[in-house]
Structure 1
Amino acid sequence: MKIFYFTATGNSLYVAKKIGGELYSIPQMIKEGKYEFEDDAIGFVFPCHGFGMAKIVSNFIKKSKFKADYFFSIMTYGGNAFSGLRHMELVAKESGIKFNYTNEILMVDNFLSAFKMEDEIINKNPEVIDEKLSEIIADITNRRNSLVKKGIVSNTLSKYGRGFADKISNNFAAKRFIVTDNCTSCKVCEKVCPANNIKVNNKPEFSHKCEVCLACIHHCPKNAIHLKSEKSKARFINQNVQLKEIIASNNQAN
């Protein structure tokens, strides 16, 4: 079994690790130019971005060829998932993928414009998360066939929400991030960026291909990067994932 994942602060990586199998980071596959894969089962684990998938996930799937007897997709989300999984189904269909199983799992949301991290961390019970994850793992192990369906209203909101997110994402960091004098030029932000959007000289400089994953903000050891509209200065990293794993997953520097 192969699992392809995209992660910023560790939730999707944690889920992928718990499911098991061979794990493949989507940013690393792009960096290595690998786009053809085959196995008995192939899965995707990704966070909800703008009611759908981040562009890096969507573009990777569109460019790739997959062959398997069983396909599954798991989406992590923190607020409302709407029809993010339907976005995955529609994009995957272009690559010849017909999913056997889809599911979603509520976890801590790292989007600082919409959520206060202190509240998110308190309100998202790790035991409840692991119970849901155990159900998903059992379903996949037993090769269950089941697709999440939300209805026309949810589908419409996701379609337009994702379209809006695509329009603003490229310049998001360049326009909305602030770097304080706490910055020590450690380059952690550069290393965890999955889009190769950050270069650090004295301070981080943001280009115009941001994925709005906020990995750079949450992993900064000095809390030196801020979102102009953030609801709190608290940060989140999944407690079951280490920084070196995020760097290994996302570092696209040559």
Structure 2
Amino acid sequence: MIDDKKMTQRGALKYMGASVAGMALASMGGLSCLTSCTENGKKRIVFYFTATGNSLYAARQFSETPLSIPQVMKENELVFEADEIGLVFPDYRAMAPEIVKRFLQKATLKAPYLFSIITYGHWDCNIVESWNKFALQHGVHFNYITTILMVDNWLPVFDMNEEMKIDKQENEQFRQAVTDVLKEKNHIPELSEEERKRCEEVLNRIPVLFPVNSEDIFEVKDNCIGCGVCTRVCPRKNYILSGNGVKHSGDCEYCLACIQNCPQKAIVLKNGEANPNARYQHPHISLNDIVRSNIQ
């Protein structure tokens, strides 16, 4: 396990500025040096998408140098080759985030062993089945897919303060998943008909999250100090600093990185939150880590 020291949000602001974009590319090590070596000498590439740090923390369990999907997507050529290639991302309504789906559609992943690690916070429903189906439709055959239960950071429903009190036994789950991947285990869980039916019933009651315009769901309050964190953590570059404060517009990933990482809690959901005073960032991931991952 990699145990980073958490940087406070205000402390991280001191290190932000024009140099952050360069740091983001540097943190990828350049596209000429993508792979890391596993304990058994295999060459492995791990890609990830994160908003609160959960999936970055997960990705670091499988590679010391995981690659941010928003940063990799800036490249013209998306052809990657290794012994093992993994994708790590959060479950968004029983499917991958839009940016992860686009990456899978555009990238060419050449590896005899492909795996996905999907983080979720309450119920993983049929995320494995739907993701595997999507991948197969686009010619990608995963050997191994598993889910990791972590803090649920879906603000409309869950109170972050209460969620962080729950011991979800992350370490035990990661140990098993890391061992499975190291052994190149082939396993994709299947749902029973009863489980599939239950998932469909639940998902039919949850509105489709994408596409949505950020102006329709977010509001910037008067306590915004113009620090610019939102402009750096949004993977779609929907936020800008103007003479009249922070402005936002455009198709939204609905990752909530802007809300979760705002140091003033000045960005809120128009339709309300379970606890407007509670926010979440993985304790072993710094704000700077999230900036480097998502800055556009």
Would the TM-score normalized by the shorter structure come out above 0.5? Answer: yes
Change in CA separation of 1:158 and 1:29 when aligned onto 2, cut-off 3 Å: farther
The residue aligned with 1:209 is 251
Q: CA deviation at 1:43?
A: 0.5
Q: In the alignment, is the contact (CA less than 8 A) between 2:219 and 2:268 conserved in 1?
A: yes
> Match for 1:80 among 111, 119, 123?
123
> Match for 2:174 among 120, 133, 146?
133
Which deviates more from structure 2 when the two are superposed, residues 67-76 or residues 116-125? 116-125
Q: Which has the higher helix share?
A: 1
Q: CA deviation at 1:100?
A: 1.0
Distance 1:34 1:117 in 2: 39
Change in CA separation of 1:54 and 1:135 when aligned onto 2, cut-off 3 Å: same
The residue aligned with 2:13 is none
Is residue 2:190 matched to residue 1:149?
yes
Q: CA RMSD in A?
A: 2.0
Which is higher, the Rg of structure 1 or of structure 2? 2
> Match for 1:90 among 124, 133, 137?
133
What is the SS of the residue equivalent to 1:32? coil
Q: CA deviation at 1:63?
A: 1.3
Q: Deviations over 1:86-136 (max 9, x none)?
A: 2221222234221111110110111110111111111144xx111111110
Q: CA deviation at 1:151?
A: 3.3
The residue aligned with 2:100 is 57
Q: Deviations over 1:13-45 (max 9, x none)?
A: 001011115411111111223421111000110
Q: Which amino acid aligns with 2:264?
A: K
Give unmatched runs, 5+ long, in structure 2: 1-43
Change in CA separation of 1:21 and 1:242 when aligned onto 2, cut-off 3 Å: closer
Distance 2:196 2:252 in 1: 25
> Match for 1:174 among 210, 215, 233?
215
Q: In the alignment, is the contact (CA less than 8 A) between 1:51 and 1:158 conserved in 2?
A: no
Q: How many pairs are equivalent?
A: 248
> Match for 2:153 among 95, 99, 110?
110
Q: CA deviation at 1:184?
A: 0.9
TM (normalized to structure 2)? 0.78
Give unmatched runs, 5+ long, in structure 1: none
Q: Which amino acid aligns with 1:69?
A: P
Which deviates more from structure 2 when the two are superposed, residues 70-79 or residues 225-234? 225-234
Change in CA separation of 1:77 and 1:158 when aligned onto 2, cut-off 3 Å: farther
> Match for 1:193 among 234, 239, 256?
234
The residue aligned with 2:290 is 246
